[in-house]
Amino acid sequence: MPKEPVAVVGIGQTKHVSARRDVSIAGLVREAAVRALEDAGLTWADIDAVVIGKAPDFFEGLMMPELYLADALGAVGKPMLRVHTAGSVGGSTALVAANLVSARVHRTVLTLAFEKQSESNAMWGLSLPIPFQQPLLAGAGGFFAPHVRAYMRRTGAPETVGSLVAYKDRRNALKNPYAHIHDPDITLEKVQSAPMLWDPIRYSETCPSSDGACAMILTDRAGADRSPHPPAWVHGGAMRSEPTLFAGKDFVSPQAGKDCAADVYRQAGIGDPRREIDAVEMYVPFSWYEPMWLENLGFADEGEGWKLTESGVTELDGDLPVNPSGGVLSTNPIGASGMIRFAEAALQVRGQAGEHQVTGARKALGHAYGGGAQFFSMWLVGAEPPTR
Amino acid sequence: MPDVLSAPLVVEFPFTRSLGPVQSAFLTGLRERTVLGVRTGDGKVLVPPVEYDPVTAEELRELTEVATTGTVTAWAWNPAPRRDQPLATPFGWVLVKLDGADTALLHVLDAPGPEAVNTGMRVRIRWAPQRTGAITDIACFEPYDGEATAESTPHSGEFADPITGIVTPARLDYTYTPGRAQSAYLNALAEQRIVGERCLSCRKVYVPPRGACPTCGVATAEQVEVGPRGTVTTYCIVNIKAKNAMNDAIEVPYVYAHIALDGAGLALHGRIGGIPYDQVRMGLRVEPVWTEGGRHPDHYRPTGEPDAAYDAYKELL
């Protein structure tokens, strides 16, 4: 029996901000879930199962969100699952939900991811004072900056490429009412004159800390027929993992990321991603990850990704817009960031991205990664139902 | 197994929580000796109150005040109180249905012994003398000789100077043991030797060793001394002071580098010193600098050798 096609019929986000002191975590997730239900024209009773994801436990000190949030998410009497995969969790959570529909286990699933970074300890929640180890910790930026330098050395990319990404994403964010950072006075000079925090990563080229949640309603073909708005259809989805550190690991272009993308393209029948995909929402927490992932995901040959960025191809009006929403660089509730990528890809092919809509987008890729560049999750969504 | 190290590891953070409208009213009410519940669509009063109906998922906002007296619906005796529990003397854990409420609240009962506790007994709140807007504003329950009379009465939930957030410390106490391979590595470091382990399958040398090769999934037992010299494969310049007591002593800017020790199959991380930070480069040859009593090299410094060629270390970034 072929798989059931999966449709995204509801999407809801909170306005992402640095601190939502007016709501509890339950109130925050509820807001996103209610917006997704409204978008889908459904009620709690229409939901068969709930799949949630969040960042690692000690980020927020919230150990059992599935227990605490069951009533806020209408999960009473229904299956409720929680997914863990560090920063990629929003993506893998959506894929677990999609698989439940695709396998005909459930017909309509609410999937949601969140984080209240203002109530978290994301900087040190994973950097524990392990006995006998040397306390030489530089935070997430310190972990990733040497890999950025390695990319620059490997490809000969000009030093300005990172600032171009940040300038683009922050301008795109101005067109997205849900984005956290709205800086109407942004200029390239401003990006380039920001202090280096972890040289070669500038302050202006790092993601913010955000409070926010994102929810989606996934359903089967019959559910899609009842949808009040055009659905996005899942054409392919995959996850891959590898160890954090191992001899031979390529941090600049991890094998697990390449394999994950290849699997998604195979499922979706994509032969040439650069030509066949109209918009990409990729997980770029530090600006240089845009050219790095352009290569890892097969949009450019090795060493060539920065040229797409530099020549404007990834701009909102370029021929491969990357992060039209403003991306992780403009909005980062870590646990939700992956799902926001998946949801924004779906908004593009539904034609519902508003001011940051990519004209005529028919196929879009949502991408997330997490841990020490070790977990990858991606989906490809289209405006038409899959034919394969 | 000799020489396997062990030490306590305490993981502790003071997490904050925004309360939202319902929990804010409940905790502020406790500060004012007022117990609030929330009324559901079918008329039940839930105490403590919740934001969303556990049956219908509807949003609940209709607050109502219940009595400070109630009835024990279930209990268990705690003969040996532990650190941070509400009472220091033996006490009963009780579920108390306050008069006017339809659900029971978990708290503790101050009673002389288990023979003095029974399901159905009447109890009342003993308020803490100092109240801050926390569940501990109820110091405990105590036996009470009086009939259930109170009905709940609607309440706006509004108080002057409401509590909107609380701090919830989370703490885990572990005993950490790094295991055989890491212990052997650490013991060698004490002799200023850097010893990794070779995978018998892929022949790569892991430093620090983990006891198994993550790629091949086989145990690594062959010990191999590496370094002490190595090559900086990549690095960053850290310009911000970490808000972390553990490396407060390190002044910024400093160079955080990946260093492939000669003979190692992957780079380890270390600080580069003995050279201005802006003169560090990929390919720089370095060696460890040990300090008296330090378990690890304090940092790595240039050896003065010519830089390594990129091709020699490009697989070890």
Pick from B70, B66, B110: nearest CA to B90: B110
The residues with which A54 forms a beta bridge, in sequence order, are A114
Cis geometry, peptide bond prior to residue A333 (ω within 30 degrees of 0):
no
Long-range contacts of the stretch B187-191 (C-beta < 8 A, 24+): B187/B3, B188/B225, B189/B295, B189/B296, B190/B295
Residue pairs between chains A and B whose CB atoms are closer than 8 Å:
178
**Domain span holding position A344:** 7-122+208-382
**B306: DSSP letter:** P
Q: What is the pLDDT of residue A222?
A: 98
Strand arrangement of the beta sheet that strand A232-241 belongs to: A80-83, A49-54, A108-116, A211-219, A7-13, A232-241, A375-382, A363-370, A279-281
* A103: in domain: yes
Name the pairing type of β-strands A279-281 and A363-370: parallel
pLDDT digits (tens, 9 = 90+) for A5-43: 999 999 999 999 999 999 999 999 999 999 999 999 999
CB contact under 8 Å between A142 and B271, yes or no, is no
Q: Are A150 and B170 a contacting pair at CB < 8 A? A: no
Q: Is the pLDDT of residue B84 over 70?
A: yes
- Kindly report, residue by residue over B269-288, the tens digit of the pLDDT: 999 999 999 999 999 999 99
Site of tokens 């922050």: A170
Q: What is the average pLDDT score of chain A?
A: 95
**Does residue B3 have a pLDDT over 80?**
no
CA nearest to A68 within chain B? B50
Q: Does residue B317 have a pLDDT over 80?
A: yes
User: How much is the pLDDT for B247?
Assistant: 61
Q: Specify the residue for token string 């109209």.
A: A278
Residues of A in contact with B204 (CB under 8 A): 247-248
3-class secondary structure per residue, A307-320: HHHHCCCCCCCCCC
Record: contact B15-A134, CB cut-off 8 A: no
Query: Coil, helix or strand for B28?
Result: helix
CATH of the domain at A350: 3.40.47.10
For A197, the closest chain B residue by CA position comes to B239
Predicted confidence (pLDDT) at residue B313 exceeds the cutoff of 90: yes
At B2 the pLDDT is: 54
Q: Which of A136, A147, A149, A204 to mutate to test the interface with B (most CBs of B within 10 A)?
A: A136
The whole-number pLDDT of residue A312 equals: 98
C-alpha of A331 from chain center:
10
Residues 155-194 of A with CB under 8 A from B: none
Do A21 and B257 lie within an 8 Å CB cutoff? no
B10's CB contacts (< 8 A; 6+ apart) are A129, B171, B172, B173, B174
**Domains of chain B, residue spans:** 7-170, 227-316
The answer to whether residue B41 neighbours chain A at the CB level (below 8 Å) is: no
Does residue A231 sit within a domain?
Answer: yes
In this predicted model, what pLDDT tens digit does every residue of B112-167 receive, in sequence order? 999 999 999 999 999 999 999 999 999 999 999 988 877 889 999 999 999 999 99
Contact B309/A at CB under 8 A: no
Which chain B residues are within 8 Å of A22, Cβ to Cβ? Answer: 18, 20
Q: Which residues in chain A touch residue B213, judged by CB atoms under 8 angstroms apart?
A: 246-247
Model-level ipTM above the cut of 0.90: yes
Residues of chain A with pLDDT > 70, as a percent, come to 98
A247 touching B (Cβ < 8 Å)? yes
| Confidence at residue A198, expressed as pLDDT on a 0 to 100 scale | 94
Give pLDDT tens digits for B43-73. Answer: 999 999 999 999 999 999 999 999 999 999 9
Mean pLDDT of B245-249: 60
The span from the CA of A210 to the CA of A205, in Å, is 16
Confidence label for B83 from pLDDT (cuts 50, 70 and 90): confident
pLDDT at A226 (0 to 100): 97
Interface check for B218 against chain A (CB to CB < 8 A): the answer is no
Residues in chain A: 388
Domain contains A176: no
Q: What are phi and psi of A192, to 5 degrees?
A: -75, -20
Torsion, Cα B287 B288 B289 B293, to 10 degrees, reads: -160
Distances (CA, A) of A311 to A210, A304, A314, A364: 31, 11, 8, 21
Contact A196 B237 (CB under 8 A): yes
Q: Which of B7, B20, B236 is the closest to A23 by Cβ? A: B20
Q: What's the pLDDT score for residue A2?
A: 85
Rounded to an integer, the average pLDDT of A218-245 is 97
pLDDT beyond 70 at B266: yes
DSSP lists the bridge partners of residue B105 as: B96
Most B CBs within 10 Å: which of A133, A255, A302, as the mutation test of the B interface?
A: A133
pLDDT tens sequence across A167-197: 999 999 999 999 999 999 999 999 999 999 9
CB-nearest to A198 from B21, B52, B236 is B236
pLDDT digits (tens, 9 = 90+) for A280-317: 999 999 999 999 999 999 999 999 999 999 999 999 99
CA torsion sign, A145 to A150 to A341 to B13?
negative
Note whether B244 contacts A124, CB cutoff 8 Å.
Answer: yes
From the list B204, B243, B256, the residue facing A142 with the nearest CB is: B256
Q: Where are the alpha helices (DSSP H) in B88-158?
A: none
Integer-rounded Cα Rg, in Å, for chain A is 19
Total domains, chain A: 1
- Within a domain: A42: yes
pLDDT at B1 over 80: no
Q: Does A27 touch chain B (CB under 8 A)?
A: yes
Domain-embedded: residue A387: no
Q: Do B234 and A149 touch (CB under 8 A)?
A: yes
Nearest CB to B236 within list A24, A25, A146: A146
Q: Which pLDDT belongs to residue A131?
A: 87
Q: Enter the pTM of the model.
A: 0.95
Please report the residues numbered 289 through 348 in chain A whose beta carbons come closer than 8 angstroms to any beta carbon of chain B. none
- Give the pLDDT band (50/70/90) at residue A255: very high
Q: What is the mean pLDDT of residues A121-126?
A: 69
In-domain check, residue A166: no
Whether the per-residue pLDDT at A159 is higher than 90: the answer is: yes
Q: How many other CB atoms are found less than 10 A from the CB of residue B158?
A: 9
Domain B227-316 of CATH type 1.20.1530? no
Q: Which of residues 59-118 of A touch B (CB under 8 A)?
A: 60-63, 70-74, 76, 116, 118
Distance CA A132, CA B7 (A): 8
Task: Output the pLDDT for position A240.
Answer: 98
A270-273: Cβ within 8 A, 24+ apart: A270/A236, A270/A363, A270/A380, A273/A297, A273/A298, A273/A299, A273/A365
What average pLDDT does range B6-18 have in this prediction? Answer: 91
pLDDT at B244 over 60: no
What number is the average pLDDT over the span B218-228?
94
Chain A: give the shortest CA distance to residue B18, in Å. 5
